[in-house]
Structure 1
Amino acid sequence: MDSQVHYLPLTPGLFSILVIIFVVLIILIQLRILRYAYMRLGIGPGAALLVLFGSLIGSYFNIPITILPGHPVRTGEIVDFFGMRYIVPVVTAFPGTVLAVNVGGAVIPTLMSTYLVLRYQLWLKAAIAVVVIAIVIHTMATPVNGVGIAVPVFVPVVVTAILAFLLSREYAAPLAYIGGSMGTLIGADLLNLDKISGLGAPIASIGGAGTFDGIFLTGILAVLLAGIASPPRPRPAW
């Protein structure tokens, strides 16, 4: 079973688009075009690229948590949702739906968000951002047979960029990352755990298929949208 829980959350073509976006970011940062936009997040361009690269590679890996009751009815398919194509992994002899945590879409964003909250002491504003975005995403989250819970890919990006800027110009960039990633995880995946077992999904990955693309793009676009309009690099609390 261990070998079957690891798979790309998107089709190779769509995943390649994310890789191309990442490569373009590398080029722009090397040309210093986006250098200061990422510095507004509170980390250097190299560290920002490392986080995004880790998210891309980590999207392939899932950490199994438990097995939910029920029998998977879909396997080895490709499911379309809002223009995105998600992969239903090929599995055999699964006793039910495996609930897992995606490394690139859940573990890394959680660690990064925790670091940003501690660095800038954004406890209250971060909590507001996460709660509001979680509510918005939860209203749009859609159970998709064979995949799990999915959200329109650009909704987290637009909502987080606007809300982060309204909460704080100075700390808009870190708030965008925290609110976008954690709000999506909570609103789409965690608040819909009770619906997963009935979707016939062989593997339900928190931060994986259905939400990974939105979380990854939030890490790129929302931070840039918020960072470009914010003042120079925010002051760390420590």
Structure 2
Amino acid sequence: MFLEPLTIVSIVVLIVALILYVLIRAFKSVGFTAPETLVLLVGAIIAYAIIPDVPLYAKGNVVLCFNVAGCLIPLTISARVIRDGRAPLIECIIGIAVVTVLAYHLSAFISDKGVVIYNIYYPSLAAAFIGILLSGKKWGRVGPISYVSSSLGILIGCDLLRLNEVLALQPARLIYASIGGAGVFDAIFVAGIIAVALDIIAMALARMTGGQR
């Protein structure tokens, strides 16, 4: 007996809703609100798929743009959690500095490919560790500190510190270089999620053993 299409759609919607509910609860446990979680997990992907890069500056045949999903969203979420005090500024600066150094040394600018990142796991692990270490034993700060450290650290280390290399290009045809786009978006998205996921696991283990609150 085959299920009706409407039944299948209903089951899929229910499963997706349950998954999102679990993820929202998990992200809330380490300091994120439900809207922030939806933006990080769903909104960023949708924005990357449908919103084109926004031009900022042109030099010769190089047009510098920024990507909404890979640049504006991380900046907005980071500014929000820093402003609210969930991610203290000094701790974030330390985390961003560490991840920036890692991201810069783990990436390279290749003229025909853009910025290539060779390993996104080290920045993710570093950000998760920094979040736990600098949270002041408050789990509500762990996720935001880790996210700010990973997303902005990668954005700065992989893109902003390599702008001179991008603008030094003298291509024969018009090219577009995007801050937070292409491979950097993937790295920011994945590293941010991995860092927060590791924090959630660490929080669960700590609570099981009566550790950090």
Residue pairs, 1:113-132, within 5 angstroms:
113-120=78-85, 122-132=88-98
Answer yes or no: is 1:63 the counterpart of 2:30: no
Count of aligned residue pairs for this structure pair: 183
Offset of 1:26 from its aligned partner?
Answer: 5.4
Aligned counterpart for 1:189 among listed residues 145, 156, 159:
159
Aligned counterpart for 1:165 among listed residues 124, 132, 154:
132
User: Which consecutive segments of 4 or more residues in structure 1 shift more than 4 A?
Assistant: 24-27
Answer yes or no: is 1:228 the counterpart of 2:201: yes
TM-score, normalised relative to structure 1: 0.68
Alpha-carbon separation, structure 2, partners of 1:25 and 1:124: 37
Tell me, which stretches of 5 or more residues in structure 1 are unaligned?
1-23, 70-95
Answer yes or no: is 1:38 the counterpart of 2:5: no
Secondary structure of 2:161's counterpart equals: helix
Tell me, which stretches of 5 or more residues in structure 2 are unaligned?
1-14
- Partner letter of residue 216 of structure 1? F
Question: Retained in 1: the 8 A contact 2:36–2:77?
Answer: no
Answer yes or no: is 1:178 the counterpart of 2:148: yes
Answer yes or no: is 1:150 the counterpart of 2:116: yes
Alpha-carbon separation, structure 2, partners of 1:159 and 1:149: 21
Question: Retained in 2: the 8 A contact 1:177–1:222?
Answer: yes
Alpha-carbon separation, structure 1, partners of 2:18 and 2:62: 41
Larger radius of gyration: 2
Report the structure, 1 or 2, having the larger helix content: 2
TM-score, normalised relative to structure 2: 0.75
Q: Which residue of 2 aligns with 1:137?
A: 103
Deviates more, 1:176-185 or 1:143-152: 143-152
Q: Which residue of 1 aligns with 2:76?
A: 111
